[in-house]
Structure 1
Amino acid sequence: MTPPVEVRPAESAGRRALWLAVAAAVMTLLLPLAGIVMAIFALATSIRAIGTLRAIPKPAGTAVVGVVLSATALLISIAVTSLQFYFGDELAAYTECGRGAGTVAAQNQCVEQLERAMEKKLPFLEPGQVRFPFPP
């Protein structure tokens, strides 16, 4: 019987950074505001892992992928969260309208109201330019 393989914390730093970056990307898709926090934590862990892995003669590829993935998740979550805050009133009105819409025609009217409200908030768009391919 072979003894269990002992993994030193410094050698597993790259994998840990990559897993945290993946968790940050998933969290960005589910809850963008929580994705910001998780992505910052994953980014800091990934940067520390690069230094740790370079201190010992180990490749830092997984930690570099962790940096790239967590930085991408951070940018996406910041963008989505800022859009949610910017269009907060319009999205709340759409939610209320959707609760009372019992037919498909009423739901389509709610989508059209959301489109018009977003066009008013974005002055560089022409009327009728915002079209959702599917209900938000």
Structure 2
Amino acid sequence: MAQLECHYGLKVRIYPSDHQKQIIRVNSYASRFIYNEMVAIGKELCQLSRVRLPIDTVQDRIQQLKLRRNARQMSNHFQFLEDKRIDSLAKANAIQNYYKAWKAFRKVHETGVPKFHRKSYAWRYQTNCQYLYSIQGCLFTSHRL
């Protein structure tokens, strides 16, 4: 795709089956939970960093929170995130979106600090394409990794 002159995007309406709806719902809830957990960790780290005294319990808690900020450690801490229906890329994208929100805040300052995402009627989560695309004449072929 990087060699193409133009990148194209598609907007698609899907009609998932009941099983697919369940998978989308589980991934949406997990993605929202991970994002909200990252916001909570960030808020707690901000509050703990204001403590100027080198108290051992505060320093230990800061180290625990810093270690828990990646998807693997978060899945170890919260066992329900180990569900086989949850996409690992959805977890990683939720963490990436949190860091993008901080980057936007530092750059623009109008967006505000990242806030908790609330439950909504619409289920949504972000994942990555897992196929390779190549051009053969005018046809796109996909190969499963």
Q: Same fold (TM over 0.5)?
A: no
Q: Which has the higher helix share?
A: 1
Q: Which has the higher strand share?
A: 2
TM-score interval, smaller chain: 0.3 to 0.5
Larger radius of gyration: 1
